[in-house]
Amino acid sequence: MPMEMMDEDPTALLPEIFLAVAAVLGLLLGSYLPRHRQWLVALLAAVACAGGIAATMLAGPTRTVFGGSYIIDVATNAGRLIVLISLVVALFLSIDEFRGHPRESEYYVLTLLGALGTVILTGANDLMLLMAGYLLASIPLYAVAGFAKDDPGTESALKYYLLGALLGVIMLGGVTVLFGAGGATAYPDLRSALSSASPAVVAIGLVAVLAGLLFKSGAVPVHFWVPDVTEGSRPPAAAFLTTIPKIGALIAIYRLVSQGLPETGIDWPLVIAVIAAASMTVGNLAAFFQDNVRRLLAYSTISQVGYLLMAVAVATRSDLALPGLVFYLGAYALTNLGAFAVVCALPSAGNVTDYQGLIKTRPWLAASLVICLLGLVGTPPTAVFVGKLTVFTAALDGGFTWLVVLAAVNTVTSLFYYLRWIVPAVRPSPAPAATQVRWAAVGAYIAAVSALVLGPLSDVVLRGLWLVGRGA
Amino acid sequence: MLSAVVFLPVAVAVVLLAVPRTSDRLVRWLWIAATAIDLALVVGLWIGYSPGPGGFAYEVNVKWIPSISSGYHLGVDGLSLPLVALTAVLFLACAVYSFRDSDRLRSYAALFLFLQTVCLGLFVALDLILFFVFFDLSIVGMYFVIAGWGHRNAAKAALKFFLYTFLGSLALLLGFIGLYLAATPHTFDIVELARQAPLTGTGFAGAAVLIALGIGFAIKTPTVPFHTWLPPAHTEAPAAGSAILAGVLLKMGTYGFVRIMMPVLPDTWRRYAIVFVFVGVVSVIYGALVSLAQRDFKRMIAYTSVNHMGYILLAVGAAGIVASSTAQAREIAVTGAVTQMVSHGLITGALFLLSGVLYQRGQTYEMDSYGGLAGTAPRFAGLTALAAFASLGLPGFSGFIAEFQIFTGSLGSAPVSTVVAFLGILVTAALFLRAFQKIFLGPYRAPTDRVGDITVVEGVAIVPLIAAAVVIGIFPRFLLEVIEPASRIVVTLVGR
């Protein structure tokens, strides 16, 4: 296959370039700035995100660049926007925690690199680039997980790293198998070549590649790192790790199954549907009696991946799959970050009972918590509700009635554990004055308000995404 | 205009929360003023009510989420206008009733105003997603009322209420999505779905959607066997919360039957109508008998709600049995069902507020703890007697008009069931008389020294509800004239 030389257009990759440049500059700045001025690196990261968002808005028409390895389309642009906006919110969560930390600037550089890897996962249109994205979205984040260098952090980083390395190797094996079976790594070529390959080989390769991506999204059966990392690493790091990488991983799975696989052959929708079902159920059941709020949120994110995978399962069967996936992803990212922001804002509160009487001491923080947790359940009119509604509709449309019924039952059961957290927070009991940190609280307000208003405004958002995606 | 009526309360709630350090006095008057103005607006709606060719008045239809063809579609017709009025009246009564409360009044008032918007919005919504949004938010709002201001075991009761009714709402959502996918072009618009009746003749798919919607609405209504969340929720909720829960929230279930299920799934409804008749009759008898066995006054009233909602199910079921009845009879049944919703809202609202009066005096709902209260609290006794008589369906009260129509309309199509359900009235009569005797007659007994009579505030809240029940009982025309054309449309749609 002759390499097309006409599509090497660096301006198409401006958002990615901004992130990379900010990471490099941040590292240099961090070496020269005095410790009390290191926060400038966070500002730099925010500026890079703003630039990336602006560049995404002007992304131009759908096209592939750099030899067809990277695709700029609705999914990529949506992924870019969600990652960049989430990163800005995540910065708010981190400011108080790492202010004056000896390695403050390094934290921001690592998150910038992790976000860059995530964005590359969303746009990868080639197995090799997918693998590169996976590594870039993994390696900096191992360091993020263990950033505090304390015992729980080190343990969680080690677990995250070992599992990540193992699944990275498996994924690389899968890439090799698919390459061997199809003779290509670019999705369009793979798609046509694999239709004549042995389904068993394709299935093995696919499952191996999926394993890595499912690890990044924290789905069952490779979810074991999620609760430990979420509890062990610092809260802002946990917020980042449970939210941002899965944006890229899920869009990558969507793209792989819908654009890299032949239409006939293996029944991948069923595979994804079963993983979705397992993920939402296991996550929910495990969350039931968690008293530690971070563990609770960790299991809740596992179940949310299950709902998100429903959209992936019907990627080729319903027109609503892509809108459902990207809107749910965006809604989930904001709402989940909002819940984590409340956790970050109250560093001394670790258990649900520590939130006793929050409504009295910090009414607005309590309100944000209620909005975000009920939002995660999918209560209307929050953004996750619209996401869930669209995803449920897409899944029913695609013929997965059993999956939708299971998801509905899971949604009801999830209410139970979210309420275990909400109830003490709104109970009017004498509470010890909770210490609150400022920027994380601001992050919580921003996330809660956006989670609330994006629901009713979902149409504007989705139409905007499609306009951007088509390059209009 | 409709949007103003719907969103005025929540706007006031936002103001209440946003302004720091408002005095309780100001909150009280703002709350009452907001609900009173809203009621005045609803009266204005009623006076200017003239339904258009589609049967709806004050219709608003704006695109909201066009990607899934869901619109901001509001409108009132003869089914919803009476319920909108009922909602406005009951919320005003609760605002007045809470005049002496001071426990976190600002949040309490804001929560009730929020609930008012949600309830009004549900009754005027003509889009399934909009309907669902309000349906779900009503659960959230009521959860916080029960959990935040309830009695001792409120947290548990509130959790049960939330989980149970949330399950129902998700069943509903599945049914709604099923309807959406069946329609061509896909739409969530109730009017359009009723026009298309997309699942006609599909057999299994129609039945599946019917089951999903049926479970959703049956839990909310509630009917046997989905009623178990109701007694604890009522027993633990504050009086005003119970009044709204029984008076307005339960109507969301029964309203769903006539607004959505009957017009949108006509042939499936006809095929399985007998199931609803049966469930209705079981609810009537079971609700009445269990109610008879209660020692707790409030729990007893809660079970009579199951009984009264059973009559509505009987009527809407009978309206689906086309073969053995005339269209006129079915129309009477549907009109009776809607009248029963209004009537039950007023009377049970009053009864729950009266039970709140009782609790406020003696700190218990146990009927055995009281006796001979009529001596010290004659007006309290009189009002309770009136409300009890109204509830058991005595002529001269709204309950009679409603139940009479239900029985007349159902007798032709479901004679045996109607006769059995009729026995329910006897049991209700017995239980109310027994409760009245226990609490108000005989030798004086009370957990506290002296049980005072109804205060002015309580009177101002409760008397209008009973007065309205009497007015509807004696001059029902003004109400029936609004309901009847809408029932005719429903019956025609079901008969397709």
CA B345 – CA B327 distance, rounded (Å): 27
How confident is the model at residue B376, as a pLDDT? 87
How many domains does the structure of chain B reveal? 1
Segment A230-245 mean pLDDT: 94
Does residue A47 belong to any structural domain of this protein?
Answer: no
Tokens of A147: 């950033």
Q: What mean pLDDT is reported for chain B?
A: 92
With respect to residue A288, please indicate whether it lies within any of the assigned structural domains: yes
- The rounded Cα B186 to chain-centroid distance in angstroms is 31
**What SS3 state is found at B271?**
helix
Number of independent structural domains in chain A: 1
Handedness of CA B212, B213, B217, B218 (dihedral sign): negative
Four-residue CA torsion sign, B231, B149, B451, B393:
negative
Residue of A nearest to B173 (CA): A389
- The first and second tokens of residue A432, run together, are 């010890």
C-beta atoms surrounding A32 within 10 Å? 8
Average pLDDT over residues B98-110: 89
What confidence tens digit (pLDDT) does each residue in A110-156 have? Answer: 999 999 999 999 999 999 999 999 999 999 999 999 998 899 999 99
Among the partner residues A386, A405, A423, nearest to B174 by beta-carbon distance: A405
Q: What is the average per-residue pLDDT within B149-170?
A: 90
Residue keyed to tokens 């698919």: A178
* SS3 at position B448: coil
- Mean pLDDT rounded to a whole number for chain A: 90
- Which residues of chain A are within 8 Å of residue B133 when distances are taken between CB atoms? 380-381, 385
- What pLDDT is stored for residue B202 in this prediction? 83
B21 has a pLDDT exceeding 80:
no
* pLDDT over threshold 60, residue A472: no
Reported as half-sphere exposure (CB side, CA atoms, 13 A), residue A59 has a value of 32
Confidence class for position B4, pLDDT limits 50, 70, 90: very high
Instruction: Write out chain B residues lying below 8 Å of A462, CB-based.
Output: 67
Range of the domain at A417: 267-472
Chain A contact set for B137 (CB, 8 A): 379-381
Whether residue B390 contacts residue B401, with contact meaning beta carbons closer than 8 Å, is answered with no
Beta bridge partners of A27: none
Among B155, B166, B181, the residue with its CB nearest the CB of A397 is B181
Shortest CA distance from A385: residue in chain B: B133
Contact A408 B155 (CB under 8 A): no
B192 is in which domain, residue-wise?
2-494
Residues of B in contact with A323 (CB under 8 A): 67
Residue A459 and residue B140: Cβ atoms within 8 Å?
A: no
Does B225 or A468 have the greater pLDDT score? Answer: B225
Q: Is the pLDDT of residue A63 over 90?
A: no
Chain A neighbors of B170, CB-CB under 8 A: 408-409, 411-412
Q: Which residue of A has its CA nearest to B180?
A: A393
Summarised one tens digit per residue, pLDDT across range A72-100 is 999 999 999 999 999 999 999 999 888 88
Q: From residue A220, how far is each of A211, A224, A226, A274, B174 by CA, in Å?
A: 10, 8, 10, 10, 25
Q: Which two tokens stand for residue A263?
A: 């239409």
Q: What is the mean pLDDT of residues B100-118?
A: 91
Give the model's pLDDT for residue A1: 42
Q: Report the residue from B162, B170, B177 with minimal CB separation from A419.
A: B162
Percent of chain B surpassing pLDDT 90: 77
Residue A383: pLDDT band by 50, 70, 90 thresholds?
very high
Angle of CA points A439, A444, A448, to nearest 5°: 150
Element (H, E) at B93: helix B80-97
Chain A partners of B64 at a C-beta cutoff of 8 Å? 456, 459
Distance from CA of A463 to the nearest CA of B (A): 8
Q: How far is B65 from chain A (nearest CA, A)?
A: 5
Strand partners, A207: none
Contact A379 B167 (CB under 8 A): no
Token duo for residue A333: 């990212």
Query: Is residue A313 included in any domain, yes or no?
Result: yes
Q: Which residues of A touch B140 (CB under 8 A)?
A: 374, 379
In whole angstroms, what is the distance from residue B199 CA to residue B264 CA? 8
Q: Nearest C-alpha of chain A: how many angstroms from B133? A: 5
Is it the case that residue A294 has pLDDT exceeding 70? yes
Q: What would the pLDDT profile of A340-375 be if each residue is shown by its tens digit? A: 999 999 988 888 888 888 888 888 899 999 999 999
Burial string for B330-340 (b: 16+ CB within 10 Å, else e) reads: bbbbbbbbbbb
Q: Give phi and psi for B362, each to the nearest 5.
A: -115, 0
Residues belonging to chain B with any Cβ–Cβ distance to chain A shorter than 8 Å = 63-68, 104, 107, 129, 132-133, 136-137, 140, 144, 147-148, 155, 159, 162-163, 166-167, 170-171, 173-174, 177-178, 180-181
Chain B residues inside the 8 Å CB shell of A409: 167, 170
| Closest residue of chain B to A466, computed from CA coordinates | B67
Q: How many Å apart are CA B58 and CA B140, to the nearest integer?
A: 28
Q: In this structure, are strands B70-76 and B57-65 parallel, antiparallel, or unpaired?
A: antiparallel
Q: Give the Cα separation of A26 and A43 in Å (integer).
A: 10
A262: distance to nearest CA of chain B, Å?
A: 27
CB–CB contact A459 B132 (8 Å) = no
Mean pLDDT over residues A3-11, rounded?
67
Put simply, the answer to whether B174 touches A463 (Cβ < 8 Å) is no
DSSP type of residue B75: E
Is there a contact between B137 and A462 if contact means CB atoms under 8 Å apart?
no
Residue-level length of chain A: 472
In B265-403, where do the E strands start and end? none
The answer to the question of residue A432 being in a domain is yes
Using CA atoms, how far apart are residues B168 and B231, in angstroms rounded to an integer?
A: 17
Size of interface A-B (CB pairs under 8 A): 77
Residue A182 domain flag: no
Which residue in the set A379, A404, A458 is minimally distant from B65, CB to CB? A458
Alpha-carbon gap: A465 to the closest alpha carbon of chain B (Å): 13
Determine whether A10 is exposed, middle or buried from the number of CB atoms within 10 Å of its CB (0-12, 13-18, 19+). Answer: exposed
Candidates B167, B170, B211: best to mutate against A (most CBs of A within 10 A) is B170
Tell me how far apart the alpha carbons of residues B260 and A241 are, in angstroms, rounded to a whole number: 44
Grade residue A5 by pLDDT with cuts at 50, 70 and 90.
low
Report helix, strand or coil for B118. helix
The residue behind tokens 């996750």 is: A384
Is the model's pLDDT at A215 over the cut of 60?
yes
**DSSP state at residue A336:** H
- Whether B233 and B147 have beta carbons less than 8 Å apart is answered as no
Nearest to B174 by CA among A19, A450, A400, A133: A400
Neighbours of A200 (CB within 10 A): 10
Question: Is pLDDT at A3 greater than 50 in this prediction?
Answer: no
ipTM of this complex? 0.84
Give the separation between CA B60 and CA B81, rounded to whole angstroms: 15
* Cβ pair B137:A415 closer than 8 A: no
Domain membership of residue A67 (yes or no) is: no
Q: DSSP letters of A258-313?
A: HHSS-SSSS-HHHHHHHHHHHHHHHHHHHHTT--BHHHHHHHHHHHHHHHHHHHHH
Please give the backbone phi and psi of residue B59, each rounded to the nearest 5 degrees, phi first. Answer: -70, 135
B chain contacts of residue A408, beta-carbon cutoff 8 Å:
170-171, 173-174
pLDDT of residue B293: 92
Task: Give the span between the Cα atoms of A350 and A430, in whole angstroms.
Answer: 18
Neighbouring CB atoms inside 10 A of A280's CB total 29
**CB-CB under 8 Å, A396 with B181:** yes
* Residue contact A459–B144, C-beta within 8 A: no
